[in-house]
């Protein structure tokens, strides 16, 4: 039996008719099964291509066994068209997958145009080759129909051609954050008629392409990020360079604020009550703008409060004072501080007079959740006692990853080793919740040690028992002499740091 056009295209004309028939039936069965499998799970290609392949194989196999010439010719033509359509769809799906591996997003408008054109071309060629149909009148009739449809669908065609223009000029790509007229959102895709945008309120909007092509478009997605800006007024009593230093240091601890480009702080204007500062920082993802702005404003409140920087009226008067001092007498407040200091193991055995020297220099600070209290590698000249809240202690691993060490809550304390030895901080401490801490600096202990030299030995003996991180210094010493070696090492450090001679 004469091979069909599809069999000749696939090279099956070289084998016997029964083998050709078996190959087509098996191919159709496997294609149908694979198509059903793809419908249940998302794969590299769509199931419609394998559906066309299965139908084309079955139609061509039927043409192989049916004796009627007219029916055979029709089935052969249908099988050839479906086979070529399957090849076109599967090829386009594979091309799309290859492009998606190089790009995160992909718009299908050009793919759809190419698919329609090639499928129509296949039908025209098969009609001409199989049935000797003159397609020129069909093309002419199609041109007339196109003119009529063009007049009736001017707005729709305008959207389609605007979509093609957007694809060619690429003012944005799917995944970009844009402002179109009064709408701000993330582009999901560009379709034939409209562009799909997901707004900050998680609303899915279909914006006509013609509207996008007419109006001003702002794209917030750039390789170097996009800037956001806030302003704040701070008292004339604060030197601008100090204000700039405090704000820039605070921005380093705010998650999702880009490190490069670096934030900027400008002393922008002399107002009636304050110097107005513009604070500009950069975002890698514009979708986080509101959340990051909230974190920046929250962090600045805590930082300005700790540094006693006033935001004066009429912007807002923040009272930077310890309200507990106002509610309690000075003596009662001092008694509370002494009681809290005595909960620290190396301060427990000090007399009230000795603790009063320390209490007079105590500062009370508040940190917001997420703020860094101390950072690994920084110089340490103070130590902290937790009054309220929880902090997380982490260290940087060999590959720079953050390793969790412990969570601390009242009455825990930290920073005493760096304070006593003058070495760098060996861990980072970050607030898990809002935290209130007592801070004592090196000056307070210097005064204590000079007025009461015997206290140095007592404090050093207690701290030395917990100095396990110094094992590398003591590795060459006998095990039985470890505690004495730690104590001697610490005492030498303390004498050097506090100038005790």
User: Cα separation of 162 and 40, whole Å?
Assistant: 35
pLDDT value of residue 153: 47
CA 124 to chain centre: 51
Q: What share of the chain is helix, strand, coil (3-state, %, to 5)?
A: 50, 20, 30
**pLDDT for res 84:** 85
For the chain, domains (ranges, CATH) are 5-152 (no CATH), 160-219 (2.30.30.60), 226-306 (3.30.70.100), 327-497 (2.60.120.10)
307 in Cβ contact with 324 (< 8 Å): no
Nearest to 433, CA basis, from 390, 399, 383, 393:
390
Secondary structure string (H, E, C) spanning 3-51: CCHHHHHHCHHHCCHHHHHHHHHHHHHHHHHHHHHHHHCCCCCCHHHHH
| Phi/psi of residue 396, nearest 5 degrees | -90, 125
pLDDT at 470: 44
Q: What is the pLDDT of residue 100?
A: 63
Where b means 16+ CB within 10 Å and e means fewer, 77-87 reads bbbbbbbbbbb
DSSP of 296-322, one letter per residue? HHHHHHHHHHHTT----TTT-----S-
Which tens digits make up the pLDDT trace of 32-77? 888 888 776 665 567 888 888 888 888 888 887 776 777 878 888 8
Cα diameter, the chain: 118
Say what the pLDDT of residue 214 is.
Answer: 77
The per-residue pLDDT for 281 is 94
- Reading the block at residue 308, the tokens are 């006693």
205 within 8 A of 183, measured Cβ to Cβ:
yes
Query: Which two structure tokens, joined as six digits, stand for 103?
Result: 């790009």
CA distances in angstroms from 470 to 121, 396, 477, 480, listed in the order given: 80, 17, 12, 15
pLDDT given at position 161: 61
Low-confidence ranges of the chain (pLDDT < 50): 148, 150-153, 315, 324-325, 327, 469-481, 497-501
The pTM of this model reads 0.57
pLDDT recorded at residue 151: 46
């Amino acid at each position: 039996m004469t091979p069909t056009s599809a069999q000749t295209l696939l090279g099956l004309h070289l084998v016997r008719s029964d083998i050709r028939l078996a190959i087509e039936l098996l191919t159709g069965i496997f294609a149908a099964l694979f198509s059903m499998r793809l419908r249940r799970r998302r794969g590299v290609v769509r199931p419609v291509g394998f559906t066309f392949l299965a139908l084309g194989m079955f139609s061509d196999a039927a043409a192989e066994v049916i004796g009627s010439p007219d029916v055979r010719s029709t089935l052969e033509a249908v099988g050839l068209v479906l086979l070529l359509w399957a090849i076109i769809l599967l090829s386009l799906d594979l091309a799309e997958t290859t492009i998606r591996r190089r790009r995160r997003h992909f718009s299908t408008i050009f793919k759809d145009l190419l698919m329609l054109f090639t499928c129509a071309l296949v039908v025209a060629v098969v009609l001409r080759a199989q049935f000797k149909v003159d397609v020129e009148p069909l093309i002419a009739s199609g041109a007339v129909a196109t003119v009529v449809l063009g007049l009736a669908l001017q707005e729709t065609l305008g959207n389609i051609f605007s979509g093609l223009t957007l694809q060619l000029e690429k003012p944005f790509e799917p995944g970009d954050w844009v402002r179109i007229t009064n709408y701000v959102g993330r582009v999901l895709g560009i379709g034939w008629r409209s562009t799909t945008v997901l707004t900050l309120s998680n609303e899915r909007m279909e914006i006509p392409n013609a509207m996008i092509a007419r109006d001003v478009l702002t794209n917030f997605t750039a390789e170097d990020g996009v800037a956001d800006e806030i302003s704040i007024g701070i008292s004339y009593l604060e030197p601008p360079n100090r204000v700039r230093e405090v704000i820039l240091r605070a921005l380093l601890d705010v998650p999702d604020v880009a490190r490069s480009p670096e934030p900027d702080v400008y002393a922008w204007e002399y107002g009636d009550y304050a110097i107005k500062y513009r604070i500009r920082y950069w975002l890698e993802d514009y979708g986080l703008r509101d959340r990051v702005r909230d974190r920046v404003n929250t962090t600045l409140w805590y930082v300005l409060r700790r540094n006693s920087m006033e935001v004066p009226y009429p912007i807002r008067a923040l009272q930077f004072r310890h309200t507990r001092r106002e509610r309690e007498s000075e003596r009662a407040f001092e008694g509370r501080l002494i009681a809290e200091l005595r909960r620290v193991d190396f301060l427990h055995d000090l007399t009230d007079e000795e603790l009063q020297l320390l209490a007079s220099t105590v500062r009370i600070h508040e940190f917001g959740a997420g703020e860094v209290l101390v950072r690994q590698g920084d110089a340490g000249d103070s130590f902290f006692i937790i009054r309220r809240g929880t902090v997380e202690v982490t260290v940087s691993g060999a590959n720079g990853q953050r390793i969790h060490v412990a969570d601390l809550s009242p009455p825990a304390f930290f920073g005493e080793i760096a304070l006593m030895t003058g070495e760098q901080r060996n861990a980072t401490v970050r607030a898990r919740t809002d935290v209130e801490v007592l801070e004592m600096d090196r000056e307070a202990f210097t005064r204590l040690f000079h007025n009461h030299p015997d206290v140095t030995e007592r404090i050093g003996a207690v701290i030395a028992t917990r100095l396990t991180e110094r094992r590398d210094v003591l590795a060459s010493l006998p095990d039985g002499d470890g505690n004495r070696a730690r104590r001697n090492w610490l005492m030498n450090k303390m004498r050097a740091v506090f100038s005790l001679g």
